Chain A
Amino acid sequence: MIKNKAIMIGAGLANMAAAVYLIQEGKWNGSNITFYALDDHGSNDGSTGSEQADEYWMKNHPMENTKGYLARGGRMLNYRTYVDLMDLLARIPSATEPGMNAAEDTHEFDAKHRTFDKARLLQGGKGIINGGKLGFNNQDRMLLTKLIMMPDSEEEKLDNVSIAQYFQDDPHMFQTNFWYMWETTFAFRTKSSAQELRRYMHMMIYEFTQIEHLVGVNRTRYNQFESIMLPIINYLKAQNVNFVLGRRVTDWDFKDSSMQDEITVTGLHMTNVETGEEEHIDVDDDTAVIFTNGSITDSATQGDYNTPAPENMDYGAAAGLWKKAADHFYNLGNPDKFFADRDASEWVSFTLTTSDHILLNEITRITTQVPGNALNSFLSTTPITPLGHEDVNMSIVVHHQPHFTTQKPNESVIWGYFLYPRRRGEFVQKPYIEMTGQEMLEELLGQLSKVDPGPVNIMTKKDAIMDSVINNIPVYMPYASALFNNRAKTDRPEVIPDHSTNLAFTGEFVEQPYQMIFTEQSAVRSGEIAAYHFAGIPMSRLVKTPRYDKDIPTLMRATKKMFE
């Protein structure tokens, strides 16, 4: 239904995209759009540790050492498929590069710093492994081909099938270089959804042929907040969009209807998280409500160099509100599928800031590549999975420096993550989730020393490296991979659910045609659809989605790759 005003619940990329399209394509006045949210970055964070120490999820967990920088994740883009994101960025000025729009900024940086990963996989005793040899047997090939050949219309066949179940007769799959690279590039776990793996095999089929070098990965100039969010925020503020931050929206008022299925929001309840006061706003007939119904960084907490990240058991602001809506109506999905099983979704990451380049140079020597274009994953040398397989212990991204505009000349920032935080360290004898920033760094140095080609091992420089540390901030994200949790197609609401008159859902927990989630791309696309719906813009003007999964030469290259 066409509206003239919008309330956005959540100020992440998806809703910000919706606002840009409402203004530019719908010709709306920015002052007719109001955001209510906890913060203005969502998952796309990036700032000093001190700035994030005071945020909502940390309010019961004060950090002692807030020095250094923090970005809870790195951002890999893929221009080939991220067409809606690039369309959005082309509409707004860069926040850091005068005279460029945000898309030109990223293109210019990326063209000068092409990704070509030379050390995607490393393993003790072997050093750099040739990941180009995917390591498939015929059963792996057959099962993957089945996924690739399964059309969108048959996707329901994979309702409630996990990746582990899909490959249950083929445990060999989980011992292939393909799996080690795929699980760590995209953060799939064996408990994740086979339906989503199918979507990745379709949307990322072009990249499948060059996965070992990550050639298709494009990067922003700086962290995702400064290169993606800040330009959008600056633009929206200049358009007089209202941002009411520090609010947790906690409940709905819905219109009563005779059939009890009309979805019309008439009011919202929220908490001012700074004062603790309860607030209420009315939603009139001319107002759309655009809600991001899940966030993978909700309830995320930070530790510091001497403290592990604590666990915050909150269900999440986004998911909590989604649950209230889903309890009321039968067609709004099942949030518990995504937010009630932390064992399937949690990870820990860390952001390490050092005052010099010693560690950076050592990693450059060991991995034989310059900072800024790699994702290095360290394979175990002993079985570590419940099936008794080797697997990746940890992965790191050494950013191009500086990764933050305010970094001092010699400071460097490195990011890393553990996909299975309850596994035990190899060099520090405790689960990763219980490790301090210092212990995570010790674990990293241990892994690097195992793959160091020498002749002088990195461990000889350990003291100098430890002395260079400004901080290493561990982050526990209970829902980091929640969007991949095993699901059926009906577990996520559509962007515009049936019988909705003014409520849209955006982000990574909505059902959209074709899109794979855990991407900036799908978040933007969901916002674009919501905006077009409420502004009466023809859907035919949505950015065209390329379909490499229907491109015969690409499929042939993928087939050839399966035999390498």
Chain B
Amino acid sequence: MDAPAPRSKAEISGGAHTKREHDSAHKHVTGSADYIDDMPEPAGTLHGYLGLSDRAHAKITSLDLDAVRSADGVIAVLTAEDVPGANDISPSGRNDEPVLATGKVLFHGQPLFAVIAESRDQARRAAKRAIISYEDLPHAIDVRAAMDAGYRMVTEPMKLARGDVDAGLAAAPLRLKGDMRIGGQDHFYLEGHIAMAIPGEDDEVTVWSSTQHPSEVQHMVANALGTVSNAVTVQVRRMGGGFGGKETQSNQFAAIAAIAAKKLNRAVKLRPDRDDDMIITGKRHDFVVDYDVGYDETGRIHALDACFAARCGFSSDLSGPVTDRALFHADNCYFYENVRLVSKPMMTNTVSNTAFRGFGGPQGMLGGERVIEEIAYALGRDPLEIRKVNFYGGPGRDVTPYHQTVEDNIIERIVDDLETSSEYQTRRAEIIAFNQTSPVVRRGIALTPVKFGISFTATWFNQAGALVHVYQDGSIHLNHGGTEMGQGLNTKVAQVLAEEFQVDLDTIRITATTTGKVPNTSATAASSGTDLNGMAAANAAQQIKTRLIAFAAEKFHIPEDQVVFEPNHVRVGNELMPFGDFIKLAYLERVQLSAAGFYKTPDIHWDRASGKGRPFYYYAYGAAVSEVSIDTLTGEYQVDRVDVLHDAGRSLNPALDIGQIEGGFVQGMGWLTTEELWWDDKGRLRTHAPSTYKIPLASDRPKIFNVKLAEWAENRELTIRRSKAVGEPPFMLPISVLEALGMAVASIADYQVSPRLDAPATPERVLMAVERLKALAADDETSRI
């Protein structure tokens, strides 16, 4: 150990805070990344298909499945009677969501039976042959109809209150009221739902499920089979998109595939057609927001009273926490001196709505931003001024409606930086001048901020596990409880691990998520994947490193601080050993090279009944400026330019984070513009395929799209390498698109009337808003075309 040690390479490749491509990028582009439907099927695999109700609300008077059973290739037909355990997949524990409906149907498209056949095509054709008779019951499809019909709420509503709202409203110099309709949204993950169940010995079954929540699928499958969790293994390597749509909605497909597989003792695969996927599975909640706001001439809000009523569908699913999160975000970046926010999670005869990126937060925030917009037009001012007047500030102006103090506020700096870099003021002036002389095409610009709370509001979900093995040859196997749906979670967690061990990223192999390796996991949701699983993986690595250090110190008789992990090497005293050699040595000396890591988020607590606590560990911030043009003859529009400045803390992987922001932005833009869910008077969803439900295309993306991370930002909390969650927050940045459209519309009445553009602002809604303002401005010669 005398010779001077050779220097190791200066840096590992693919460590934390570096731009790395998605770990599966190479496989994605060559078509060799396997999704569940691509996996080789076990010999004799059967295929399932679901038979759906064609009534929105009815008693089933008879279910005649003889013709289904006798169809070509059919092996079995399952109904609720074939569910060996509990006929329930309700994630809220309310027992309000059957695997297969009995007696009554509560929405159009509710699964009633499953056909299992030799081929998917046979199962699908057979399912059409059922003869079902119903006795129709009255149905209520939307929130207002449900309230009028006296429908119940699917879960207890929540109330957040601070100050004296009635007095505040009464005393405020100015006051206005209004309402806003906010549409729902289909996830439109490109890979639809799918499950493949492979029966095992005794009561065992393995289910490959396209799910964000393998542990819940495991529990639901066990419950439906009437067995315990240790009999069920759920696995997922990757999803072709999730966005919240695979948080609870995978349960049904997995449960049915597992029931059939156990009953028939053959592998069973269940994959609905796209239309059925969109009909059977829940979506983003639609909301109706009623608001009453008291404010003054400066635009400062004195009191806000608002009700957020949501279309929850026939069951509770996640509607409780979703509507809660709407209230948690109704303040966005603004301090409300006196406030009362209440939720109304209404039951409706529609599919049960569920998680979707932002989890109610976007709808809450949009309601809050509508209030700002209303005040601005009522005062004839730029909404940005009103925003600034209401930003959270120092003591006295830093407490949220749920009594958490905002301690990490950076919104002013974000907004100032963006206002300057995007040349907001100059462009706004130029646009107003343009509108004065342009009869048909009108333009608009808006800057909107985002503050989004990070943590599951169900505090116990804020935990995670990871399993790390270092093999004798120095290669590393990484497994954690999170699921990969495109967000790059696996890449980021692997980067964290690479950094811990100081090895190149390609030393680490990422493996499929499975309930057999990491138990009791939380859904990969609430943007928490990296925060939680990255920490758990780091913890596992640290355990192994501690053992390695102790071993080397003892073996080479050196102090522990002389054992240092350097890039792809370990320095032991003066000697620099390649990582693999060092590990081999440790193995021979019988060092345990495997560890289960664990993490739980500190410092958070929440008491729903009193509406007080610290539900969020920290907030992520961002802002966007959007500029649009509209055609006032047809309502058609285009997003001309978008500038984003977003806070990802100390980004673990700036390339992937920018990808989340761009993707989240365009997805959010779709929600607010062209994506419209449309039910007919029979309660049938008629926009249930890409032919009728229009998500953005390449030619809809902002024509100029500048996205930047706030490079100075750093999480003040001790998150994984001071990064911040980035999955959901950017989804709300395109509220600026809606408001820019609003401004273009408002130009019709010289910006003196609130455009009140509801979402989604389809060309039709834009034109109708233009018409409304034209009618109001009819006396004003100058605003006529």
User: Are A and B part of the same complex?
Assistant: no
Q: Which residues of A contact B (CB under 8 A)?
A: none
